[in-house]
Structure 1
Amino acid sequence: MVNVAIIGASGQLASTLIDYLSEHTEHVMLGLVRRDPSTLRTVPRLKYVQTDYQDTAELSRIFKAGSVDVVMSFIIAHLDPDAAVSKRLVDAAIDAGVKRFVPSEWSVGRHLADAIQFLPWYDSKLKTRAYLEQVNTPHKVLEYTLFHSGHFTEYLGHPHAPANLKHIDTIAISFQPEILHALTVEGREEVDRMTFTSPGDVVKVVARALDVEQGKWPVWGGIEGQTVTVKELIDIVERVRGKKLTVERLKESDLVAGRILAKTTPTITHSSVTPEQKEAFEKLLTAGFLMGAARGAYTATREWNEILPDVKFLGIEEYLRSVFRE
């Protein structure tokens, strides 16, 4: 049994993990939240603690009081400027004698730095990575792993609600099988690769990782559902839908310059994006998805696949066929 502190415990992926840990393990959970805990659902073996994450000493006291072994963060990247909260969590974990730390990664992987120009809302992830390296130099004081898994497979089913994933909202990305439309970078369809992993599989791996022997966590913690080229993804979608996609091929030079010269672009609706941010974020997300893929940011490595080779992952075609039964 492990005592796990879940930071941002009311978020989507965090809630999915909480459900899985409650149903399939005996681990005890401490859920840190900003909102009033009395407004949140009750889950077996989960206790909420309200905090604003502004006081390192307070966070340390919370971790000590809960005898926390592992801190897992689900802080939303663009809501943590300069990784201020993330750094406090690291400091508090070290002060409290926490054994393991999971920063808020969950998406982009090893090539984020190569694509940060197009994914600026992820800058706090780079700062957190750098801080973890710093505090563990010259000697390791806190074991950590950078869980990353590319895009959620279920985004390809937008706007259909994911089966058995009641907490996950889908968003429209540059591939929209529902309307038979895709945006790609001209000339890169057989080069650019992306990983798609179901959040249901992500939480299974994370739960298993809690039982891995101390000292055996890899720093780079890739979870790969399925990695495909853009061309392979087009072929899968067309095979499942039985129809051709309308593919708009955008020039890389236009995307670099911030120009989205497409007839159809994704409409973003997500709980973390305010109405005031919507238009600007749609442009950023579209360019980020395309150029992030071109720079390899959405390709996951396979460290956790290799550590846990018996875990079976939901494939892209399998998922799409469950959504588009025609």
Structure 2
Amino acid sequence: MSIKNVAIIGAAGNLGAPVTKALLESGFAITAISRPESTSTFPAGVAVKKVDLSSVDALTEAFKGQDAVISLITTREAAKQNVLADAAVAAGVKRYIPSEFGVNSSQVAGSRLAPGVQPKAEHITYITGLAQKNPGFTWTGITCGPFFDYCWNLKLFGVSPKDKYAAIVDSGNERFGATTLPDVAKGVVGVLTHLPETANKYIAIQTFETCQNEILAATEKVVGFKLSVLNVTADQALKKGDERMAEGDYMHAFIDYLAHWFLADGSNHKNSADILANDIIGLKQSSVEDVIKTLV
């Protein structure tokens, strides 16, 4: 089994754009699936189909002839993915990649992240059942930790050379895996070129494993000056997130909750060795310093 034709939902988004670019460069034929009212634009060579994303029939027709379907819809829309998987099965799609990425959704129950991320975990359960009932249909879930380059700009890691300060949560030594957007895109390509090894599995990828203090040290080395350090507790980050959520500032509240999730001492949300798949799909890891050089 090989993959040639790939349909992407969310191909113009923050993750969708680099994934689309990487797939095009790797020789895949890409079809962007978007809503009828969408004004998104796509690179040359990308076919576009405007479809009612709530209609199994419309999606099934759009997915006909596609070998793979990749869902890159936002976390806030993740609860609506079952219809995509149903249509993929009906259209005879071989591989489905859900909008997982980021946090390992199987771990979020009971946390502040649960309202937004739990639907992703439920979707994994749903597509696991679909694959069991439909042997020609396979899936791969990908967790990658925070998008390092994207979250750097949102100051998730608390390090800001522009402002010459760093806000370090707890000890700053809690380790976690992070992945740049281009590496997430390479990971998707890797999955589609390593089908047997990734079939019906939940895998992790990462550009590197690190901690706040390593990020701070690497940043200071790259920029050539020391940053002022402010120590904060994980509970403070959580409280700030709650305040922002109460104000309706979903985006920044989510960043605060992510900071608590990944940076709090004892959170233990680094990628476990049993699901880390960099070697399996051929994704090389990089150093924190080398990545930061591209960001400052």
Structure-1-length-normalised TM-score? 0.76
CA positional deviation for 1:153: 2.7
| Correspondence list, 1:42-121, <5 A | 42-44=43-45, 46-64=46-64, 67-80=65-78, 83=79, 85-109=80-104, 112-113=107-108, 116-118=111-113, 120-121=115-116
1:213, 1:21 → 2: CA distance?
15
Deviation, structure 1 residue 8: 1.6
Report deviation, 1:289: 1.9
Q: 2:159 aligns with which of 172, 176, 182?
A: 176
Q: Secondary structure at the residue paired with 1:151?
A: coil
Q: CA offset at residue 260 of structure 1?
A: 6.3
**Counterpart contact for 1:157–1:320, Cα < 8 Å:** no
Unaligned runs of at least 5 residues, structure 1: 159-170, 266-275
- The SS at the match of 2:81 is helix
Describe the shift of the 1:290–1:237 C-alpha distance in structure 2 as closer, same or farther (beyond 3 A). Answer: farther
1:143-182 matches, within 5 Å, as 143-155=138-150, 158=153, 171-178=154-161, 179-182=163-166
**Structure 1 residues 156 and 320 mapped into 2: Cα distance closer, same or farther (>3 Å)?**
farther
Aligned letter for 2:52? D
Q: Deviations over 1:279-299 (max 9, x none)?
A: 353234213322344334464
Q: In the alignment, what sits opposite 1:164?
A: none
Give yes or no for contact 1:218–1:303 (8 Å, CA) kept in 2. no
Contact kept? 1:255, 1:287, Cα under 8 Å: yes
| 39 and 290 in structure 1: CA distance in 2 versus 1, 3 angstrom threshold | closer
Q: Does 1:210 align with 2:210?
A: no
CA shift, 1:224, in A, is 1.4
* 2:276 counterpart of 1:306: no
- Pick the aligned partner of 1:288 from 254, 258, 267: 258
Task: Answer yes or no: is the 8 Å Cα contact 2:175–2:263 preserved in 1.
Answer: yes
Shift of 1:11: 1.4
SS of structure 2 residue aligned to 1:147: strand
In structure 2, distance between residues paired with 1:299 and 1:289: 16
CA contact (8 A) 2:51 2:62 kept: no
Q: After TM superposition, give the deviation of residue 13 of structure 1 in Å.
A: 1.6
Structure 1 residue 177: deviation in Å? 2.8
- Give, in whole Å, the separation in 2 of the partners of 1:197 and 1:300: 15
Q: Which residue of 1 aligns with 2:12?
A: 10
Inter-partner Cα distance in structure 2 for 1:118 and 1:156: 16
Q: Please show how residues 193-232 of structure 1 align to structure 2 within 5 Å.
A: 193-214=175-196, 216-217=198-199, 219-232=201-214
Does structure 1 residue 189 correspond to structure 2 residue 172? yes
Question: What is the percent sequence identity of the aligned residues?
Answer: 22
Distance 1:222 1:147 in 2: 6
Map of 1:235 onto structure 2: 217
Q: State the shift of 1:60 in Å.
A: 1.1
The 5 A counterparts of 1:270-285 are 277=248, 279-285=249-255
Determine helix, strand or coil for the equivalent of 1:105: coil
Q: Deviations over 1:80-138 (max 9, x none)?
A: 4xx1x200011111111111110001211266325742453223212212212333447
Which amino acid in structure 1 is aligned with residue 205 of structure 2?
Answer: I
> Over the residues paired in the alignment, what is the CA RMSD in angstroms?
3.0
Aligned counterparts of 2:268 and 2:105: Cα–Cα separation in 1: 8
Does the 8 A contact of 2:92 with 2:136 survive in 1? no
2:293 corresponds to which residue?
321
Q: Whole-Å Cα distance in 2 between the matches of residues 215 and 16 of structure 1?
A: 23
Equivalent residue letter for 1:318: D
Q: Which runs of 5+ in 2 are unaligned?
A: none
Return closer, same or farther for 1:52/1:315 CA change in 2, 3 Å cut-off.
farther
Contact 2:150 2:181 in 1 (8 A): no
In the TM superposition, residue 184 of structure 1 has moved relative to its aligned partner by 3.4
TM superposition shift of 1:157? 5.2
Which one of 15, 23, 26 corresponds to residue 24 of structure 1? 26
Q: Which amino acid aligns with 1:153?
A: F
